[in-house]
Amino acid sequence: MAHPYGDATTLKALIGTTRETALIALAGSTPADVLAKHRGDADNIIDARLMQTYTVPFAAWNVTPSSTTTPPLITTISDQLTAARLLIANRSESKLAKAWQEEAFQMLTALREGELEIDAAKVAGDAGKDFVNFPADAPIASGRSDG
């Protein structure tokens, strides 16, 4: 699996270093474990939402932004979902978390429906959808008698 898609630096910029530290501390575990769990959940949601449209998983985000092959919009969505999950885990009624989550889901829907495009491999058009393969020499049934 090629996760994570997001970036710790942009996540901290999104939710703020102080808020991130406090949220992770409230979770009662080591910071790396808490962040990895919520990041993993967010990235799995992205894969599940886009698997019918794009080849997933996307490549993992690398430390050097110029070497990343994860589409930047996927990194943004991952950061928003991760931030939302961190907030919701500690404050289920967070308006900010719900706003981030809603925006991320809107972008995922737009990607899935072709309203937004990213530089990533797409799943072949109708691959495996509603098709039955028959041998080339199989008789064709028309539903009526020929005799």
pTM of the model: 0.72
In whole angstroms, what is the distance from residue 130 CA to residue 116 CA? 25
In whole angstroms, what is the distance from residue 74 CA to residue 84 CA? 15
Note the pLDDT tens digit of each residue in 105-135: 999 999 999 999 998 888 876 444 444 444 5
pLDDT tier, 20 (very low <50, low <70, confident <90, very high otherwise): low
pLDDT of the residue at 9: 80
Does the pLDDT at position 98 exceed 60? yes
**Environment class of residue 94 by beta-carbon count within 10 Å: exposed (0-12), middle (13-18) or buried (19+)?**
middle
Mean pLDDT confidence for 27-33: 65
Note the pLDDT tens digit of each residue in 64-91: 554 457 888 999 999 999 989 888 887 7
pLDDT of the residue at 125: 65
